[in-house]
Amino acid sequence: MVYKASRGCSFNCAFCYNKAFNKGRWRAWSVDTVVEDINFLKKNYKVDAIKFYDDNFFIDRNRALEILEKIGIPSHVEIRIDMITEDLARKLKELKIGECLIGIESGSNRMLKLINKGYKVDKIREGVKILAKHDIYVTYSTIVGLPTETKEEFSKTLDLMYWVHKAHPRSGFTLGAYLPYPGSSMYQFSIKQGFRPPKKTEDWGKIDRFRKDFSSPWVDNKKVWRIREYFKFFSYKIGFLNKWLEFRIRNRFFAFPVDIYIIEFLAGLAIEEKGIIGKILRKIHSLIKKFK
C-alpha cells in the first residue's frame, strides 16, 4: 500500500522540482493522523506493509520513528545518506524497514557540489557501510549526464556504484540521465549548457529517465539504459551472471547488449511461470536463493 505522510522537502538539491513546486516548504500530517489512517487500512483492507511516498520521510526524525513504531508493519521509506548513523540504522532494522530509497547521485565531488547535495563521496561511503552492517536493503539512486559532467566524472559514478555493490550486497540501483525540471535551480543553467526545452506539452513526456528515446545533450541515454539494466540484474543473485555483469562494468564493456534481451526474456518466463521452461526457471532461481 502506498501512503503519503508529508509533502515537500526542506533541502535544496539543485536538480529537484521541490523548490519550485513546494516553495521549499515541508508540510506533514500529524503522527496521530498518519497512524489512524494506517490502522484503518490494516483493519479494513488487511494491509501488511506501507510504502511511504514522501520526498524525504525523515525531515523530522523523531516524528518518523514514532510513526514507524506505532504502525508496527514493514515499511519503505526515502531518506538522505547523510542522515544515516549507527543509532538510526539500528532503529530502522528494529522497526521492520523493508527497503530504503537513497539518492547518492554521483561519485564526483564536483558534481555533488554542483547539484548542492551538501555532502561528499566520503560521506556516501560512510553511510553505505553502516547500512550494510545492519543488513538493511537499500535502492541507491544515481544521476549521470549532468551539465558539464566529464567522461571521468561519469566513470567515477560507475566506480561508486560498483563499490556499493561489493560493500553492500543487499542493495539495488536505479541509474538515470539528468532531467532538467522547469523551476529547479539548475534549469536555466541547463539551457545555457545546451538543453532545448520541448515546444509541445506532450513532448515533455519523453523527459523520462527510464526511456531509451530521451535525448540528452550531455550523455547517450541508450548507454545509460544498458548500464542501468546491468546493475538491475545483480538483484537476481546468480553467481555466474553476477561475474559476467561485473566483467562488463569493470571493463566498461556496454556494447552488444544481446544479454539484456535474453535475461529479460528468461526472467519474464520465470516471473510469470510461463510454460514448462518458465516453471523450471522459477524453481531453479528459488533454489539458488535458498542455498546462498
Cell of 41: 487500512
CA 203 to chain CA centroid, Å, is 25
Residue-by-residue pLDDT tens, the chain, 292 positions: 899 999 999 999 999 988 888 888 999 999 999 999 999 999 999 999 999 999 999 999 999 999 999 999 999 999 999 999 999 999 999 998 999 999 999 999 999 999 999 999 999 999 999 999 999 999 999 999 999 999 999 999 999 999 999 999 999 999 999 999 999 999 999 999 999 999 999 989 888 888 878 889 999 999 999 999 999 999 888 889 999 999 999 999 999 999 999 998 888 877 667 677 666 766 665 655 544 4
User: What pLDDT shows up at residue 292?
Assistant: 46
Alpha-helical segments (H) within 217-274: 221-232, 239-250, 258-272
Number of other residues whose CB lies within 10 A of the CB of residue 88? 19
Determine whether 113 is exposed, middle or buried from the number of CB atoms within 10 Å of its CB (0-12, 13-18, 19+): middle
Beta strand spans in 79-228 (E)? 97-105, 138-144, 171-177
Give the whole-angstrom CA distance, residue 133 versus residue 152: 30
Cell of 37: 489512517
Q: Which residues are CB-contacts of 198 (< 8 A; sequence separation ≥ 6)?
A: 204, 206, 207
- The closest of 147, 219, 224 to 180, measured between CA atoms, is 147
**Which tens digit of pLDDT belongs to each residue from 170-217?**
999 999 999 999 999 999 999 999 999 999 999 898 888 888 788 899
User: What pLDDT shows up at residue 213?
Assistant: 80
User: What pLDDT shows up at residue 19?
Assistant: 82
- The closest of 130, 77, 68, 121 to 101, measured between CA atoms, is 77
Element of type H or E holding 126: helix 121-133
Give the whole-angstrom CA distance, residue 147 versus residue 36: 45
Q: What fold does the segment set 2-219 form as a domain?
A: TIM Barrel (3.20.20)
- The closest of 209, 205, 206 to 227, measured between CA atoms, is 209
- pTM here is 0.92
User: What pLDDT shows up at residue 291?
Assistant: 44
Cβ(160)–Cβ(227) below 8 Å: no
| C-alpha distances out from residue 256 to 207, 227, 252, Å | 25, 12, 12
Cβ(164)–Cβ(128) below 8 Å: yes
User: What pLDDT shows up at residue 278?
Assistant: 67
Cβ(154)–Cβ(121) below 8 Å: no
In the chain, the percentage of residues whose pLDDT exceeds 70 is 93
Alpha-helical segments (H) within 61-120: 61-71, 86-94, 109-114
The type of residue at 6 is S
Give the whole-angstrom CA distance, residue 275 versus residue 269: 8
Q: Which residues are CB-contacts of 104 (< 8 A; sequence separation ≥ 6)?
A: 81, 124, 128, 140, 141, 142, 160, 164
Cβ(28)–Cβ(35) below 8 Å: no
**Which tens digit of pLDDT belongs to each residue from 143-175?**
999 999 999 999 999 999 999 999 999 999 999
Give the whole-angstrom CA distance, residue 221 versus residue 210: 9
Number of other residues whose CB lies within 10 A of the CB of residue 65? 16
